[in-house]
Amino acid sequence: MPAPFSPSLTGTSLEGHVVMVTGAASGIGRECTQWLSERGAHVALMDRDESALAALRDKVAVSGGDVLPAPADVTDQAAVVAAVDDMVRRWGGVHGLLNCAGITGTTGIRSHEVELQDFENVMRVNLHGAFVVGSAVIPTMLQQGYGRVVHIASISGKEGNPGMAAYSTSKAALIGLVKVQGKEYAEDGITVNAISPAVVQTPMVAQLPPQQVDYMTSRIPMRRCCTLFEVAEMAGWILSPAASFTTGFTFDLSGGRATY
């Protein structure tokens, strides 16, 4: 039976919280996993890369962290539900979801040049996957009367990046989903929010054409990339009990590029 909401779940402490992180094997997901573990959270690690998850588990274990690898594709509903069931059995509930899983697809070309299959694949991972993992954790959160859902969106979902039709569209749709679900669960103790980074130096960004990265960075008033630690710090606060009166919102993490 899921653990009921406790009044002790207050402030910014994440000690003893149970959080699922998707896309945990690299980039933002990996950084946030380590950040959460260092602060006493129990973390279920979801990713398709089993070997990378095992390596991350071993690294976290060295410092005494408690993690549970959950090898799965976020678009595989049965596998995602099974992973959530495993974490609930192990830790008694689920307090948070941090959805970092995402792909860019083909970039650097105009929309009419994008293959339909590529467009659909990006939408499947970035949007459908977010819907699947959110739908898997929310029933337990409803029983608890408490939950925090955070999706990693993108500044491209607000503004649209030329040469990134599929990615920008998927992130815009994700922001729309967050607005809907934030309202739907506002009276249930569950918040649903997103983070909208500009350019974060991750393996995914490193694979983009240099001209694409130059274009995105040139639009940031701070004239630098966001760091992985900065993403983890913001995500950690939104996942905490302290972030109790904001839902359906997309938090800016763009170095001043988005001021709305």
Please give the full DSSP string across 12-53, using - where no structure is assigned: T--TT-EEEEESTTSHHHHHHHHHHHHTT-EEEEEES-HHHH
CB 228 within 8 A of CB 253: no
3-state percent breakdown (helix, strand, coil) of the chain, nearest 5: 45, 15, 35
> How many CB atoms neighbour CB 85 within 10 A?
12
Provide the strand spans (E) within the chain.
18-22, 42-47, 66-71, 96-99, 147-152, 190-197, 250-253
Contacts for 105-113: CB closer than 8 Å, 24+ residues apart:
105/166, 105/167, 106/166, 107/163, 107/164, 107/167, 107/208, 107/209, 107/212, 108/163, 108/208, 108/209, 108/211, 108/212, 109/163, 110/162, 110/163, 110/165, 111/165
Active site residue 260: no
Determine which one of 146, 167, 215, 260 is catalytic: 167
- Residue 194 to residue 43: CA distance in whole angstroms: 19
- Residue 189 to residue 148: CA distance in whole angstroms: 9
CB 166 within 8 A of CB 114: yes
| Catalytic positions, written as ranges | 167
